[in-house]
Structure 1
Amino acid sequence: MGSGTLTTSKNDELVVAGLTVNADASNFSAWTNSFTERNDFSSKTGVSNTRSTFGAADRIVGAAGAYTTTATSALSGAWIGQIASFRIASLLTQSTYQWFANADSTGVGSALAAQDSVVTVFAAGNTFRLRLLLHVADAQVLTSGVSLKLQFAAKGTGTCAAPAGGSPAVYTDISAAAGEVRYYNNPTPADGAALTANAGDPTHLGHTVVPESYEEANAFTNAQGAILSGQDGLWDFALVNDSALNSSNYCFRAVYATGAILSSYGVYPELTIGNQPPSLSGTALNGGAAISLVEGTTKSVSVAATATDPNGFSDFASATSTIYRSGVGAACAANNSNCYAVASCSFSSCAGNSCTVTCTASMQFFADPTDIGTFAAETWMGTITVVDKQGASASSTAPAVELNTLYAISTPAAINYGSLNPSTDTGATNQTMVITNTGNAAITIPVSGADMTGPGTIPVSQQKYSLSSFTYSAGGTALTAVSTASGLNLAKPTSTTPVQGTLYWGVGVPNGTPSGSYGGTNTIIAAP
């Protein structure tokens, strides 16, 4: 008598038992535990003690477990037996698919594309769902009878069947932690839960579809039910664009958990990472305030906005700007009086899909005013253009602001008349005062003064001025305490070349004036 026991791990396995006894027993009695004898025979050649009897039986078992069988020969002798199980592998085909919007449930959102159609998704962080059918071509797949995983690859310059040149360049297991495309963990549904069927789920040639599970990680199985021959199993995968490259295509496939591919792939789910153009909001020139320049030098004036790109802030490539007087328009040629082109703007405070973009120009002191004067009917404006890495762009113009008129001059710090005796004057020797227009408007130069004081007093009228050199006794205009137009007019500057004029000064010292040092204040004004 010989017996053996085997423990199977899967349903629907074929268990085969074989037995050899060293005796010419001719045959074995019936095999136990529903094993069916398939053959037995004896070897009748040779001497009697070398003759053997062989036998075999099998049984198809419906569930995993321990199985034992026993067979008895008519004669006793040394024996050896073997018991083994076999399982017919089902032929799985990747048959059809459909993309859906993500939902925080075992159901899905609206369809993103028609069945078996490429879908375009956008920004990093964009979530979506893939529902995939696998067709059973022959032997049924019993419940939990197969273990699978989902992979992806960048299509690159190849095809989904043979990707090439992308990243990843070969099919790679989708991770729940990282990768260009990865699994997404919705807060509510659990990985492996039964999916909720949807009226828009993919179908395959009218075959029965067996809803399986919702998946947030590899591997996956058909724990929700057996898939009979000629039926399709449906799985639902929650995915997210983690760091996929814009304008790239990615392909997906299911494989066995061992990495072995399926018998065939009728379709490959495919998605394109599309580019959405950027946008600008909250654009403001000089913070929305009127621009006040700095005399004789430049002032930093900025136009700023919030730049947003649905593909993520890393998709920004560049930004440019023009700050201009409205009358010349945004397409103006650079000119320090009315048009400032900013070739490169800065991005800061970047997070998610947005950055602050700031474009700064060094505005000259002579830039055209718009609050009064020649350009009073105009304003200053600022336009920003932002461009993404695919060349898509957006432009925005800030609300208009005024640029204030700046009346300003620079003069020498002092007039030094030198030493004079009482009852004398400077004669034909004049002190020159070069006055520079450091503002952005044409100006006149009113002057006034006060008595010079020291040990005594030299009246203000003892000083004289002129637009040209003069002899004190014969020319010049007496200075007064009342601001009076000097006759000197300075045009508006249009470049950094100084716009200047000169006043000539002289003084007479009255008889009896005590000796000593005298000083006073002359007031020189920039006026319209």
Structure 2
Amino acid sequence: MITAILSSRLFTVFTFGLTLIFIFSLPLKIESQTSYLPFVDSVQISTTAYSANENPMVLSSVGSTTTFHINGVVSDQNGWTDISTVTASLYRSGVGSWCTANNNNCYFHPACMFSNSTGTIRSFDCAIEVANYAEPTDSGSIYSAETWNANVIVEDLSALTGTNSTTNELLSLLSVSTTNSIDYGNMPVNQTSTSSATLIITNRGNVNIDVTIASDGMTCTVGSLPAYLQKWDLADVDYTSMQKTLGATGQLAGLNLLKQTSSQTASTGTLYWRIKIPYGVAGGVCSGATYISASQI
């Protein structure tokens, strides 16, 4: 920025009845001020505001979002008041910094917050909500050769900009949710189920999965029911036609639940269950635990 100040003086001279007026211009005075480029001095990704870098990034909210904070320090030699805005993007490296915003691999923050402004520096924080199905980049994932990048741009009052970035890994999340229970209702002794109980399983993670099923059986008011009396299948068929017999050793279900790709399309699968109640082994109310574990496919 250059400011020019022109100074002048007015002189009046009286000579033999004549009045002579002279205007003398003084030397031009130039005042200059340099507009310095702003800088992004540091960039971190953390789960709390204005905190140190946390690598890898861990999705902690199953079926919801996890807040990641892109934070750091920006500076401008014209003073912190010359720093206008900070924007941030968080994206999988394979889609590039100019990606289209979506929950799988590309997020933007248009106006980050400031704190601790002093001298020539300002601290910034950009809170971004990342979906539980954002694409992982850790070892074993399909994007293991890539990273998640946080890119920050600072702009000052003269529209000058500076940029900086950092890279982190995003871990795979194996997670499922199920309906509350497998309810066989009231069962007569020495009979098998006449209709199937259902268990709906939903993939709540960010990778394709299958599930393994196991159980230790049921305890009853009187006696107990071993696990092998329960059968399950991917199809709603009668007891004798069901392919899987429940047991303490886990069995792969074969559901092949794909990773969710939007907030409207969680991947679900249904298992059908039936039971046989032999004569003289149990009575009253029976209950037990069925163990469901997810594995990446």
The TM tier, using the shorter chain, reads 0.7 to 0.9
Tell me the equivalent position of 1:266.
26
* Structure 2 residue aligned with 1:277: 37
% same residue = 30
Equivalent pair of 2:42/2:164 in contact (CA under 8 Å): no
Match of 2:155 among 387, 391, 401: 387
Q: How does 1:236-255 map to 2 (within 5 A)?
A: none
Equivalent residues, number: 272
Q: CA RMSD, aligned part only? A: 1.8
Distance 1:374 1:396 in 2: 27
Which string of whole-angstrom CA distances, capped at 9 and with x for unpartnered residues, describes residues 32-66 of structure 1? xxxxxxxxxxxxxxxxxxxxxxxxxxxxxxxxxxx
TM-score, normalization by structure 2: 0.87
Q: CA deviation at 1:310?
A: 1.0
**Equivalent residue for 1:444?**
210
Paired with 2:33 and 2:6, the residues of 1 have a C-alpha distance of 15
* Alignment-derived partner of residue 224 in structure 2: 457
> Partner amino acid for 2:231?
K
The CA deviation at 1:488 is 1.2
The yes-or-no answer on 1:522 pairing with 2:290 is: yes
Q: CA deviation at 1:288?
A: 3.9
Deviations 1:280-315 (A, max 9, x none): 112122314211113211011122221001111111
| CA distance in structure 2 between the partners assigned to 1:348 and 1:407 by the alignment | 36
Tell me, in whole angstroms, the C-alpha distance in 1 between the residues paired with 2:241 and 2:33: 88
Task: Say which of 146, 151, 154 aligns to 1:378.
Answer: 146
How far, CA to CA, are the matches of 2:257 and 2:282 in structure 1?
39
The partner residue of 2:58 within 292, 297, 301 is 292
Report SS of the residue matched to 2:228: helix
SS at match of 1:473: helix
Q: TM-score, normalised by structure 1?
A: 0.50
Deviation at 1:160, TM superposition (A): 3.3
Residues 388-446 of structure 1 deviation map (CA, whole Å, 9 limit, x = unaligned): 11100000011x2111010000012221111112101212x111111110000000111
Query: Equivalent of 2:94, from 321, 327, 330?
Result: 327
Q: Distance in 2 between matches of 1:301 and 1:522?
A: 35
Counterparts of 1:477 and 1:353, CA distance in 2: 68
Instruction: Report the CA distance between 1:473 and its aligned residue.
Output: 3.2
Return the structure number with greater relative CO, CA threshold 8 A, min gap 6: 2
1:510 is aligned, of 271, 278, 281, to 278
Which protein shows a greater Rg?
A: 1
CA distance in 1, matches of 2:32, 2:292: 71
What secondary structure is seen at the aligned counterpart in 1 of 2:86? strand
Q: CA–CA distance in 1 between the matches of 2:54 and 2:219?
A: 49
What SS does structure 2 have at the residue aligned with 1:461? helix
Measured in 2, the distance between the counterparts of 1:436 and 1:365 equals: 13
> What do residues 187-233 of structure 1 show as CA deviations (whole Å, max 9, x unaligned)?
xxxxxxxxxxxxxxxxxxxxxxxxxxxxxxxxxxxxxxxxxxxxxxx
Partner amino acid for 1:272?
A: S
1:369 corresponding residue in structure 2:
136
- Deviation string for 1:122-168 (max 9, x for gaps)? xxxxxxxxxxxxxxxxxxxxxxxxxxxxxxxx86xxx5349xxxxxx
The separation in 2 between residues aligned to 1:438 and 1:312, in whole angstroms, is 47
Query: Secondary structure at the residue paired with 2:294?
Result: coil
8 Å Cα contact 2:234/2:271 also seen in 1: yes
Contact 1:422 1:513 in 2 (8 A): no
Once residues 364 and 373 of structure 1 are traced to their aligned partners in structure 2, the CA distance between those partners, rounded to angstroms, is: 17
Q: CA deviation at 1:268?
A: 4.2
Render the CA deviation track for 1:323-348: whole Å, top value 9, x for unaligned.
Answer: 11111121222121111111111111
Give the letter for the 2:130 counterpart: M
Alpha carbons 2:203, 2:268 under 8 Å: kept:
yes
2:74 is aligned to: 307
User: Of residues 198, 209, 220 in structure 2, which corresponds to 1:432?
Assistant: 198
Which residue number in structure 2 is paired with residue 160 of structure 1? 6
1:50 corresponding residue in structure 2: none
Which residue number corresponds to residue 252 of structure 2?
485
Map of 1:77 onto structure 2:
none
Runs of 4+ in structure 1 displaced over 6 angstroms?
none
SS of residue in 1 equivalent to 2:284: coil
Which of 466, 474, 482 pairs up with 2:241?
Answer: 474
Distance, in Å, in 2 between the alignment partners of 1:525 and 1:475 is: 21
